[in-house]
Structure 1
């Protein structure tokens, strides 16, 4: 079976400053993958470069052997909450219905079927009772659930989430990771930029470790090791005492 995601020799720079250097890895279908590394390591940059949201200096990205443009409607992206205009005058339901557009076809508008599907997705994340609220009226955790519902509405095959657990309540985090694990079990591939290293064992089955270059990638038991994390975090890894790592 083809890899769900294949990344080869990706370089990214901003104004002449190197952000990512020669990053290559692959992800198997149905994997739940954590992207970890210190602040400034290029984690969010990596996701944006893979999705062609920012330019690459060089490199190749394939989704199931095809380029991003060909696979766009099968890819869902949940950006950081800080990058979203929460004052935009849109209801929760309408925000989720937007996820239906990639599969509607050119110039077609959502109808009763799409509205019903959007409501199902809201129910999945426990937000059906908030469908008429303006998105800016929600808490951080509720907002994150709504944008996960929008991704679900898209019926994507590959999901990219950038720091989905930052600034949200424990109940929302539990709901979101439960849904992501369920998606993975059903063959969907999910990549998550993540910062809480104490939870990587519980959340992910594969890790990508970055610090501007690829430090390690693969199954948890292959990557969650002291030498890999020490290299990524420049030796600042007192948190390892709390992790199940191999010396």
Structure 2
């Protein structure tokens, strides 16, 4: 039976007592690379975290691969914002990626040779294999983000969530990450990305979720990326108009 990758019904979320996300309903088919865009304070990260069950929702239903999130955790990979991660934690690049293999291991089994080889393969995909013995805190922002993408790849998940993966990341890391996200979609995986820069939305994504506390637009990039629809979300924040070249 064919399941939607993500199905959301009437999602409401409060943040410190304020309504942050209001009545969002949408469904994403598998194999799509979806950008969540909208102005600062629009609730994009809150929306992502609520989908994943990382913060409570006031009401609404979220299904991933046709099931409640807690039943399909192993199928979900999450790359948080870089400022949500403790970079002083003393762990090597390889061990950070090896953590991604844990959801697949039988209870209480330590990663073995097969997992270590797979972790190195994932590092190779993101171009970070020669850094495997470095501490994660020594890396640049772009390198750190590649390592966390490698960790997500190591999980062999079906649905990937990335929260602002391009903040503080160099251009070549950004290109590497986008290429890998597109490859995941070609393999039938689904990728959801909170993204703040409108200028690349056209090149990066198949679909856009345009959010400003409520859902302003959802669909193919060409449908959502219209001046009047974007303007509705950004209400008078006209700097973005120049970014879009409108």
- TM-score, normalised to structure 1, is 0.96
Q: Give the secondary-structure state (helix, strand or coil) at the position aligned to 1:41.
A: coil
Note the aligned Cα RMSD (angstroms). 1.2
Distance 1:243 1:19 in 2: 26
Q: Give the number of aligned pairs.
A: 245
1:142 correspondence with 2:143: yes
Alignment of 1:198-209 (within 5 A): 198-209=199-210
For residue 79 of structure 1, what is the aligned residue in structure 2? 80
1:158 correspondence with 2:156: no
**Residues 3-58 of structure 1: CA distance to partner in whole angstroms, max 9, x if unpaired?**
11001111111232111110111111000000000001000001110111000001
Instruction: Give the superposition deviation at 1:200.
Output: 0.3
Given that 1:4 and 1:29 are in contact with CA atoms closer than 8 Å, whether structure 2 keeps it comes out as yes
For residue 108 of structure 2, what is the aligned residue in structure 1? 107
Instruction: Give the superposition deviation at 1:106.
Output: 1.4
Q: Give the secondary-structure state (helix, strand or coil) at the position aligned to 2:118.
A: helix
For residue 19 of structure 2, what is the aligned residue in structure 1? 18
For residue 132 of structure 1, what is the aligned residue in structure 2? 133
Instruction: Give the superposition deviation at 1:222.
Output: 1.2
Alignment of 1:42-57 (within 5 A): 42-57=43-58
For residue 234 of structure 1, what is the aligned residue in structure 2? 235
Given that 1:31 and 1:206 are in contact with CA atoms closer than 8 Å, whether structure 2 keeps it comes out as yes
For residue 179 of structure 2, what is the aligned residue in structure 1? 178
Instruction: Give the superposition deviation at 1:64.
Output: 1.6
Instruction: Give the superposition deviation at 1:244.
Output: 7.6
Distance 2:14 2:180 in 1: 34
Distance 1:163 1:238 in 2: 20
Q: Evaluate the alpha carbon distance shift between residue 81 and residue 242 of structure 1 in structure 2; reply closer, same or farther with a 3 A threshold.
A: closer
Q: Give the secondary-structure state (helix, strand or coil) at the position aligned to 1:164.
A: coil
Distance 1:223 1:2 in 2: 24
| Residue segments in structure 1 that go unaligned for 5+ positions in a row | none
